Amino acid sequence: MKRNFKIRIAYISTYLLFLIVSFILGYNPGKEIAFNFISFLVYMLKILPCAFILIGLFEVWVKREVIEKHLGEESGIRGYVWVILLAGTIAGGLLVAFPIAYSLYNKGAKLSIVFTYIGAAAICRVPMTIYEASFMGVKFTMIRLLISLPLVIITSILLGDYLNKRNYKMAEGK
């Protein structure tokens, strides 16, 4: 842990030093990288606080039994429908999907549902899908959704089964 921390400090300071020197010398690639960094930082600062506050509320308010019943081992097909609807309405893509999926898992959602959530959050968020269709056409978007979603569900079930057989557990306390 200590060593990792040192490595991290080392490359972050190298990076910062590079950006500062680039600005002093007027080195354009360095400036562009700094610009990229800031624009992505702003983008993430816009979504993340919201996402994490919702996760916090979720952890406090939603009872474990509720998640176990609807998204747990006994949930059946309905569980997948619920989790896809949930994924479809939450903005932010994968970055936000990981911590949410992790919270779902810790509240008792089964693995195949957790992976379906991640896949669905990537490919079928409602606002993004409408946006996509407006640029690429409805046909393109429909094909993508109708092919990828079943594949996501099937592979999530297979992956869930495989990991259950190996007694997979996610890291604790993230």
Which residues are near another protein by CB under 8 A?
8, 11-12, 15, 29, 32-34, 36-37, 40-41, 43-44, 46-50, 52-57, 59-61, 91, 93-95, 98-99, 101-102, 115, 118-119, 122-123, 128, 131-132, 134-136, 139-140, 143-144, 147-148, 151-152, 155, 159, 163, 168, 170-171, 173-174
Q: Which is nearer to another protein, 82 or 148 (CB)?
A: 148
CA distance 133 to 139: 8
Q: 26 — phi, psi (to 5°)? A: 70, 35
Q: Which is nearer to another protein, 78 or 131 (CB)?
A: 131
Supply the DSSP string of 64-96, one letter for each residue.
HHHHHHHHSTT-HHHHHHHHHHHHHH--SHHHH
Q: Which two tokens stand for residue 17?
A: 């030093």
Q: How far is the CB of 113 from another protein (least distance, A)?
A: 14
CA 141 from centroid of its chain's CA atoms: 21
